Structure 1
Amino acid sequence: MTESLPEDVADVLDLVLDTDEPVHVALRRQVPQLSVHSRCTCGCGTAYFELDTNEVEPAPTGPGTVVAVDVQLYTETGECPGEVLVFTQGGYLSWLEVCSWSDDVEVSLAAARRWLRPPS
């Protein structure tokens, strides 16, 4: 989606922001101006964004912090070990979170990329 973001973050945003959903389309327009200012240190891949809000329009998500995307992850065996969440604040992309629900399956941004892709 953009060269200013790390490839893993850009790829997951591209996979979870639906091109048919108006709010997601508005959020996609913000991605070229997005950068990562920090990441979670546990290895999950969660990324916190920095965005010049003077350069983009807010998405119609409402005020405050909103979960704009909530996608459950499914392994090749059909197990659901976690999810990917995309948060906005005041209509602007704020952070991408990778959540684990399982102690048996490691959930990371790399795993999310694999599980979000349609089987080929």
Structure 2
Amino acid sequence: MKIDPPRPLTAKERAILDLVLSPDFAGAAELRHQSTSAVVVGRCACGCPSVDLRTEDSAPIARPGSRLVPSELEVLPSGDEPPGQVILFTDGGRLSYLEYVWFGEPSTEWPELSRVRVVGP
């Protein structure tokens, strides 16, 4: 679902993105630079908090080796709910999609930072 005009990342989106990009991996420095100008240009139509991202064209291009960034967040379960993940995609070396993957009922909100753990290279 397209967002027009693009909007800045919320504080929670910014914190989640920063955590995913916190480990060192090929292309991390460029993606961190891109993240400073990232804006939200779309949302998942299912109602989950996943967002499409766009960065400034002048930001350096990353070469992470794959569309899927090698760092992710594990979302620890709360109560009897199953765990989840937050993954990040690039397109052409630019940040493109921050996705909340769940394994039970879909969530409409990003997880609390106290429930996430960085899993990376």
Coarse TM-score class (shorter-chain normalised)? 0.7 to 0.9
- Hey, what does 2:84 align to over in structure 1? 82
- The normalised TM-score by structure 1 is 0.73
Question: Which stretch of structure 1 is more off in the superposition, 77-86 or 39-48?
Answer: 77-86
Q: Which amino acid aligns with 1:110?
A: W
Q: Deviations over 1:25-51 (max 9, x none)?
A: 221110122100111243321010122
Select the residue among 62, 76, 82 that pairs with 1:59: 62
Gaps of 5+ in 1: none
Q: Which has the higher helix share?
A: 1
Q: Deviations over 1:23-76 (max 9, x none)?
A: 2222111012210011124332101012232x11111124xx611033321135
CA apart distance, 1:97: 0.5
RMSD in angstroms over aligned alpha carbons?
2.8
Give 3-state SS (helix, strand or coil) of 2:111's partner. Answer: helix
Gaps of 5+ in 2: 1-7
- The normalised TM-score by structure 2 is 0.73
CA apart distance, 1:108: 4.7
Superposition misfits of 4+ residues, deviation over 6 angstroms: none
- Hey, what does 1:47 align to over in structure 2? 51
Aligned length: 111
Question: Which stretch of structure 1 is more off in the superposition, 79-88 or 18-27?
Answer: 18-27
**Quick one: percent identity of the two aligned structures?**
28
